[in-house]
Amino acid sequence: MKEIQKILSRVRLAVEKYDMIAEGDRIAVGVSGGKDSLVLLMALAELRKFLPRHFDIVAVTVDMGFDTCEASPAPKATHGEIRELCLRLDVPYVVKETELAHIIFDVRKESNPCSLCSRMRRGILHDTAKEAGCNKVALGHHYDDAVETFMLNLFFEGRVGCFSPVTLLSKKELILIRPLVLTEEKMIKHFANKVALPVEKSPCPEDEHTEREYMKQYLSDFDHRHRGLYRRILGALERGGIDGWHE
């Protein structure tokens, strides 16, 4: 598919630069239904065709169960279009049903639910990946996410840090990889729109009302006045060798 070549070039660069994929890997791709995870799924499915190392992928969705949530009820998600996409890509698809939304919003009534939700979803994703026989998990964090995470840590936690392109989870015997870390969000948006990916709108009431969204807007406004801001911040991450990043 010609439209995916620009994405693939960035993904392959990240995979080679950070040694993300080895011969015989079985990789669980975390598919939330958003544009980032769907583009990642398509890119890795395409990468299988020409990367000089054989690897398998499995798409995994952790269903939050908003249909059981009294605070923010939503229709039962069928993920039918994602399932059809996986069939076209020849990728097995696993949906893990949960009641996370009910636990977080109804039972615990969390006022700041994002941190707890993220931890619980990650744990379930990791366990599901292990059940599927995977040794790695691929997440859809991209170039812009890295810059925004670095700035969030600096502004709100007073520390210099970011997620790593590759992370070893020794207790789970899993490795997390982020093949989109060198791919800008605008490229992902353009591709997702061009090929009409079945992006699912998040039913979460906190969606687009988080500190990350505020930071995204702040950096975007600043970048309009001082072009190249994202590139300079990511370059600082790489030159500083922070959390596994390197030039």
Q: Whole-angstrom Cα distance, residue 186 to residue 143?
A: 10
Contact 144, 156 (CB under 8 A): no
pLDDT at 2: 67
pTM to 2 decimal places: 0.95
pLDDT tens readout for residues 159-200: 999 999 999 999 999 999 999 999 999 999 999 999 999 998
Q: How would you write the pLDDT of the chain (247 residues) with one tens digit per residue?
A: 667 899 999 999 999 999 999 999 999 999 999 999 999 999 999 999 999 999 999 999 999 988 888 877 888 888 999 999 999 999 999 999 999 888 888 888 877 888 888 899 999 999 999 999 999 999 999 999 999 999 999 999 999 999 999 999 999 999 999 999 999 999 999 999 999 999 988 888 777 678 899 999 999 999 999 999 999 999 999 999 999 999 9
Q: Whole-angstrom Cα distance, residue 159 to residue 54?
A: 39
Q: Whole-angstrom Cα distance, residue 113 to residue 71?
A: 13
pLDDT at 107: 87
Could you list the beta-strand ranges (E) of the chain.
25-30, 55-63, 93-97, 136-138, 166-169, 174-177
pLDDT tens readout for residues 192-215: 999 999 998 888 877 767 889 999
pLDDT at 155: 94
φ, ψ dihedrals at 192, nearest 5° = -60, -40
pLDDT at 60: 98
